[in-house]
Amino acid sequence: MSTKHVNHLANEKSPYLLQHAHNPIDWYPWGEEAFAKAKAEDKPIFFSCGYSTCHWCHVMERESFEDEEVAEVLNRYFVSIKVDREERPDVDHIYMEVCQALTQSGGWPLTIIMTPDKKPFFAGTYFPKASKWGRPGLMDLLDAVQQRWRENRDELIEHSNEIYALLKHEYKPSTDVQLSSELLDIAFQQLEAGFDAKYGGFSGAPKFPTPHNMLFLLRYWRHNGNPKALAMVEKTLTAMRQGGIYDHLGYGFSRYSTDNEWLVPHFEKMLYDNALLCHAYLEAYQCTGNQDFAQVAGEILDYVMRDMTSSEGGFYSAEDADSEGVEGKFYVFTRQQVLDILGEKDGTLVADFYGITSQGNFEHGTSILNFIDRNVEAYAHKIGIDVAELTKLFASCRSKLYAEREKRIHPYKDDKILTAWNALMIAAFAKAARVLNVAVYAEFAERALEFIQSRLVRKDGRLLARYREGEAKHLAYLDDYAFLLWALVELYETVYSPTYIKWALEVSDELKRLFLDDINGGFYFYGSDGEQLLTRPKEIYDGAIPAGNSVAALALLRLANITGNNELQKMAEAVLKAFGGQVKKYPKAYTFYLVALDYQLSARRKIVIAGSNDSEDAWNMIFAVWQNFLPDTEIVFNDRTKADLVEKILPAVSNQQPLDGKATAYICENFACQPPITDVGKLLSALVIE
């Protein structure tokens, strides 16, 4: 990358924008300066949006944005704007919707050409410099647009106004949609119809993990007893863990698989994927007792603690797919490399089990570690070695390979800290602390939450979206608030500090004040105090990341159950109702919404444990309940060592006291409470847990 050029991105904090700060293109960040320049110079805007670990963004930069010829055209005829989609998801959301509407596809880099008043008239994704692979070249595209801008501008303006009119069309909720378990049944049937019985997952290649599909299916199994729902989750999670999408040496999952069998990943690792997958593996472990699932969840968190945690306690965003300009280079091995590192005997055992062949399963004779269609037990039997001995040998060999891999040039790490993604990981750490009974996970969760509180909350209480190198910036979006609410509920039910409920109630108030649509229901994506863009969208589609509306609905329902606050209940129900008509058209696309709906339709239960934080019997009760998959149950701790706080923040439970000096459980379900219980066995029996 040349450093002789310095453009208007040089003072930004976004790693993605800084990657382009020395392009010969005179890039501007999204802002009034760029739009004022476009109006003053009567030029269209060339808008490019991506993120720092995006492989095809790197390709387009190398081919076009570092090219002097491309820069000369863009600088002469356009005003060029670069946007980091992870910092400005509001801007990305609007223009990605345009791209999908015009081209029937989307992705990054997102390429938009628009008028100086932000109205788009052209959309696409990656373009090579010159036409190839049936794709138009960027140079041809720019030449055609600048010529039409000079000679036939009225047509472009008219087209942009038509697109703007489509964007402005506001979704009106259906008033006659009945939210019932029928929606859950239809979603299950759709997932079952698309299920890959051989390798798991719910689509063909490329295959995305979509963890909320699993979260929904586990609840469907729990409430309906359908064994196929559980079997699909087990198959998918097992196949992913065996495949190359999982990093068998350093842990963590890549973003997606390019094939059906989860072998060849797109190697970038995203914080949000790993947070959500941790939830899925933890819940699958609760449902099945399969220790492999518990192990994977723990390994994901080991990876995050080791590689993705800042010294201040926040979590980094992502790791790139590329190193030294080559996708996957950091992760792959040749068979000879494995033999050289481990020796002939151990190296052969490891290479054979992990699919490392002389021909390779990736590029240039290299192999991605995997054990698709293999397992340690069968392999140990085949070669006549004790399973425990082989497991120990493999662990030792993986450590040696990992140590050798660490000497390589690492992929680029995007070290910005995003509130929304951090909240997802906080929720995962909190849940893992309960399910796996590992105290350090709760410590990491609390430390990250303290980071958000101290670095990403303005003095007036307004949450911000991104922190990097001492700078907190961008008003937080719906996802930031909704995911933080989820994290606070999860962390409360792990450490039982009432102050987390206090903060959660404050977050729910801000959700209502800044984001709620009082007329049509649901939450807008950006706040009423944010930059007013072409439109103010609402999102319910649960894509790679679940929609803020879906997560908010579930978190509000859980908080309502914990606190007894009926206003929160009504707000959540209104969100679900607002999008019911849209969800009904294709329920499979809204599985986190359906997780919230499942909770709403269930016989929600609250268990109040009355006792003292320093008493073993209270924690024995809590630990016993934690081990079970009870997705419609919340545990509230009336901790007598914090009686004043509990009475102030959770007054509804302060009257439920320990009996005869013993920790006591009060189970309330379907608007009725059972007699108090002081015995762990009787508590589990009352919950119908064997």
CATH number at residue 109: 3.40.30.10
Examine the domain organization and report whether 387 and 239 are in the same domain: no
Residue spans of alpha helices (H) in 29-178? 32-41, 55-60, 68-77, 89-103, 138-151, 153-168
- What's the CA angle centered on 105, arms 515 and 413, to 5 degrees? 70
Of 599, 474, 465, 479, the C-alpha closest to 538 is 479
Please state, in angstroms and rounded to a whole number, the distance separating the CA atoms of residues 77 and 487: 47
Of 16, 92, 107, 49, the C-alpha closest to 525 is 92
Query: What's the pLDDT at 168?
Result: 85
For residue 198, the domain's CATH number is 1.50.10.10
Phi, psi of 197 (to 5 degrees): -65, -25
Locate 379 and state its tokens: 């392999």
Q: Per the domain annotation, does 354 fall within a domain? A: yes
Of 133, 134, 136, the C-alpha closest to 144 is 136
Cβ atoms of 525 and 536 within 8 Å: the answer is yes
Report pLDDT digits (tens) over 361-408: 999 999 999 999 999 999 999 999 999 999 999 999 999 999 999 999
Share of the chain above pLDDT 70, in %: 99
Examine the domain organization and report whether 363 and 464 are in the same domain: no
Examine the domain organization and report whether 200 and 251 are in the same domain: yes
Place of tokens 């800044």: 514
Cβ atoms of 537 and 525 within 8 Å: the answer is yes
Q: Per the domain annotation, does 400 fall within a domain? A: yes
Cβ atoms of 270 and 281 within 8 Å: the answer is no
Q: Per the domain annotation, does 176 fall within a domain? A: no
Share of the chain above pLDDT 90, in %: 94
Q: Per the domain annotation, does 575 fall within a domain? A: yes
Average pLDDT over residues 104-117: 95
> Which stretch of DSSP H or E encloses residue 620?
helix 616-626
> Which stretch of DSSP H or E encloses residue 575?
helix 566-585
Please state, in angstroms and rounded to a whole number, the distance separating the CA atoms of residues 501 and 639: 14
Examine the domain organization and report whether 335 and 284 are in the same domain: no
Examine the domain organization and report whether 453 and 582 are in the same domain: yes
Q: How far is CA 4 from CA 1, 23, 530, 660, in A?
A: 9, 9, 36, 78
Q: Which amino acid is at 189?
A: Q
β-bridge pairing 45-50 and 79-84: parallel
409-423, 503-517, 645-659: which range is least confident on average? Answer: 645-659
Locate 422 and state its tokens: 């951090």
The last residue of a domain, from among 601, 617, 648: 601
Of 310, 307, 327, 256, the C-alpha closest to 107 is 256
Examine the domain organization and report whether 442 and 517 are in the same domain: yes
Residue spans of alpha helices (H) in 311-438? 335-342, 344-353, 376-383, 387-405, 419-436
Locate 59 and state its tokens: 């390709």
Examine the domain organization and report whether 203 and 276 are in the same domain: yes
| Buried-exposed string 79-109: b where 16+ CB fall within 10 A, e elsewhere | bbbbbbbbbbbbbbbbbbbbbeebeeebebb
Residue 68 pLDDT > 70? yes
Residue 2 pLDDT > 90? no
Tell me the three state secondary structure of residue 528: coil
Query: What's the pLDDT at 223?
Result: 94
Query: What's the pLDDT at 173?
Result: 75
Report pLDDT digits (tens) over 206-229: 999 999 999 999 999 999 999 999
Q: Per the domain annotation, does 5 fall within a domain? A: no
Tell me the three state secondary structure of residue 532: coil
Locate 418 and state its tokens: 């995003």
Residue 138 pLDDT > 90? yes
Locate 264 and state its tokens: 């060849």
Place of tokens 């497991």: 391
Q: Which amino acid is at 82?
A: K
Neighbour tally for 314: CB within 10 Å: 28
Each as own residue / partner, the long-range contacts of residues 398-402 (CB below 8 Å, 24 or more positions apart, any chain) are 398/248, 398/249, 398/350, 400/341, 400/342, 401/249, 401/333, 401/338, 401/341, 401/342, 401/350, 402/249, 402/250
Of 340, 369, 337, 366, the C-alpha closest to 352 is 369
Cβ atoms of 464 and 416 within 8 Å: the answer is no
Examine the domain organization and report whether 400 and 514 are in the same domain: no
Distance from the first to the final alpha carbon of the chain:
63
Residue 1 pLDDT > 60? no
Q: Per the domain annotation, does 425 fall within a domain? A: yes
16-25, 249-258, 319-328, 343-352: which range is least confident on average? Answer: 319-328
Mean pLDDT of the chain: 96
* Chain-centroid distance, C-alpha 16: 19
Examine the domain organization and report whether 459 and 338 are in the same domain: no
Place of tokens 């293999």: 374
What's the total number of domains in the chain? 4
The last residue of a domain, from among 390, 407, 424: 407
Partners of residue 253 on adjacent β-strands: 246
Locate 611 and state its tokens: 């006792």
Q: Which amino acid is at 423?
A: A
Residue ranges making up the domain that contains 346: 331-407
Please state, in angstroms and rounded to a whole number, the distance separating the CA atoms of residues 550 and 523: 10
- Using 50, 70 and 90 to split pLDDT, how confident is the model at 690? very low
Cβ atoms of 481 and 552 within 8 Å: the answer is yes
Cβ atoms of 318 and 274 within 8 Å: the answer is no
Examine the domain organization and report whether 185 and 265 are in the same domain: yes
β-bridge pairing 256-257 and 120-124: unpaired
The last residue of a domain, from among 375, 407, 439: 407
Of 311, 218, 213, 209, the C-alpha closest to 266 is 209
β-bridge pairing 256-257 and 110-114: unpaired
Residue spans of alpha helices (H) in 169-252? 181-193, 211-224, 227-242
Q: Per the domain annotation, does 3 fall within a domain? A: no
Neighbour tally for 42: CB within 10 Å: 10
547 Cβ neighbours under 8 A, 6+ residues apart: 539, 540, 541, 590, 592, 593
Please state, in angstroms and rounded to a whole number, the distance separating the CA atoms of residues 121 and 34: 18
For residue 656, the domain's CATH number is 3.40.30
Please state, in angstroms and rounded to a whole number, the distance separating the CA atoms of residues 384 and 456: 56
Please state, in angstroms and rounded to a whole number, the distance separating the CA atoms of residues 599 and 605: 10
Place of tokens 């007792």: 289
> Which stretch of DSSP H or E encloses residue 196?
none
Examine the domain organization and report whether 573 and 447 are in the same domain: yes
Query: What's the pLDDT at 689?
Result: 58
Average pLDDT over residues 541-546: 96
- Using 50, 70 and 90 to split pLDDT, how confident is the model at 178? confident
Examine the domain organization and report whether 162 and 297 are in the same domain: no
| Buried-exposed string 252-285: b where 16+ CB fall within 10 A, e elsewhere | bbbbbbebbbbbbbbbbbbbbbbbbbbbbbbbbb
